[in-house]
Amino acid sequence: MVYVKPSRREDFEIVIICGLPLEFNAVSLLLDEYWDEDGDHFGRSPGDVNHYITGRIGRYNVVLALLSHIGKVHTASAAASIRSSYGSVRLALLVGICGGAPQAANGEEDEILLGDVIISRTVIQYDFGRLYPDRFIRKDTLEDNLGKANKDIRNLLITFETDIGLERLQRRTAYFLKQLQANATGRKRQGRYSYPGTAEDKLFKSLYRHKHHVPCTCVCRDCNSISNPVCDEALSLSCEELGCDNLYLEHRGQLDAKRQLEQDKSDKAQEPTIHMGSIASGDIVMKSAEDRDRIAKKEGVIAFEMEGAGIWEELPCIVIKGICDYADCHKNKRWQNFAAATAASTLKAVLERYIQTDKNRNEDLDPLERDSITQGASWYDSEVRGEDVTQGNELRVSSPQSSRHCIVQEGSYFGGVIKVAGSVVQGNRMSI
């Protein structure tokens, strides 16, 4: 199958957004083709400061955008810029890492482990509301909250709510994770995206503090309850340096199962579980197990992140995030690259299942104004894609040379394959 490079920004309908360079790096390893290898052809709108690369994943042309700042206000304005540069975007996928809320699980089957992936059913802006001296009241009337996903997105997500849909998604995610790891090895980044191992997946009991457990003279010595402070030094040290004790780890059955796979040297040990659920989005970096559990219970969320709310307001969006920590005081960066890789792999698996609903015919432009597709090269039986390619369209080929063969279209659907019979040569223009 040969794919034609898009000729302009309007040809891109899918944008993948990352908040961090490490997330961007992981996604970029799963592009099947880059459209800007020899320089950028597409430009951007005035005022747009996002960094973009363009390419293809499967049958979709994608723009990969890296945000320059985090936080909701910056993210929303970056999303607005994406919309102004890429006005035809129909689906935004926010892909990267997040903190998990492991206690939200209903029993062992739902346990959330590091490296697992969350797909957003909804995004909840948990820090939006009024803070009173004794309590915080979240604004949760319909208009204050984020709206629900559009029909395209709801149709896609519903397939992952079924057992077979979820199984397929997990199987393909595992496949793409290996592909990403192999691509990384090929680019001399071997090991960066390896599974860190079950021994590194530590969920401490909620009340167990990240503080000096080794003998010391700081305030940590008197820290016996959740309201007591720990010393500043402890905030920047690792669990190993502080002596956080594995005796206080929560026991989790899913982790035991993975440990067995590890002992059997099975590469299934690294395969993430995908969880569908609500994601809490806010400007606060969650580093407290107590707050995490309280908010998870109250809002019914299974993960915490910081860009979702800003994107969700501006673009039709799905959030796909790999769990890199448990949003508690013990958190560290060890799982970030792996979690970014599992999220990127799920993104690619999700795109395989994405079927766009045909655009409303009445919204279409005058047929003569429809997309014309410039083919940079020529092929028989080539795949051509463009806006508004629907069943029954006719394909005409115009040529600077004298009249060429007649073109017969054997079938087409939106974003699909149009078979072109005849001699299509370099320099031909095709219009639909």
Which tokens go with 237?
């040290």
**Cβ proximity to Zn ion, 206 vs 342, nearer residue:** 206
Considering beta carbons, is residue 30 or 244 the nearer one to Zn ion?
244
CB of 218: closest distance to Zn ion in angstroms? Answer: 3
Asked if 330 interacts with Zn ion (CB under 5 A), we say: yes
Q: Residue 58 CB: number of other CB atoms within 10 A?
A: 13
220 or 289: whose CB is closer to Zn ion?
Answer: 220
Q: Which stretch binds Zn ion (CB under 5 A): 121-129, 277-285, 328-336, 395-403?
A: 328-336
Amino acid at 45: S
Closer residue to Zn ion (CB): 67 or 220: 220
Q: Which residue is nearest to Zn ion (CB)?
A: 216
Helix, strand or coil, per DSSP, at residue 69: coil
Contact string (CB under 5 A) for Zn ion, positions 145-184, x = contact: ----------------------------------------
Q: Is residue 249 within the footprint of Zn ion (CB under 5 A)?
A: no
Please provide the DSSP assignment of 236-302 as one string. TS-HHHHT--GGGBPP-HHHHHHHHHHHTT-GGGGPPPEEEEEEEE-SS----HHHHHHHHHHHTEE
Kindly give the pairing relationship between strand 51-57 and strand 60-66.
antiparallel
Contact segment (CB under 5 A) with Zn ion among 100-108, 267-275, 312-320, 329-337 equals 329-337
Residue closer to Zn ion by CB (options 205, 429) is 205
Q: What are the distances in angstroms from CA 303 to CA 134, 308, 365?
A: 25, 11, 42
Minimum distance between the CB of residue 418 and Zn ion, rounded to whole angstroms? 58
- How many residues sit in the footprint of Zn ion (CB under 5 A)? 10
Under the criterion CB under 5 A, does residue 261 sit at the interface with Zn ion? no
Strands 408-409 vs 274-281: parallel, antiparallel or unpaired: unpaired
Q: Considering the complex, what minimum distance in angstroms separates the CB of residue 358 from Zn ion?
A: 53
**C-alpha–C-alpha distance, residues 46 and 56, integer Å:** 25
How many residues are recorded in the chain? 432
The residues pairing with 221 across neighbouring beta strands, listed in sequence order, are none
Name which of 229 and 411 has its Cβ closer to Zn ion. 229
Which of positions 397-416 make contact with Zn ion (CB under 5 A)?
none
> Could you tell me if 66 and 24 are in contact, meaning their C-beta atoms sit under 8 angstroms apart?
yes
Compute the distance between CA of residue 113 and CA of residue 272 in angstroms, rounded to an integer: 8
Backbone phi, psi, residue 298, to 5°: -70, -40
**Smallest gap, in angstroms, from Cβ of residue 148 to Zn ion?**
38
Span 181-240, contacts to Zn ion by CB under 5 A: 210, 212, 216, 218, 220, 231, 234, 239
The residues that touch Zn ion, with contacts defined as CB under 5 A, are: 210, 212, 216, 218, 220, 231, 234, 239, 244, 330
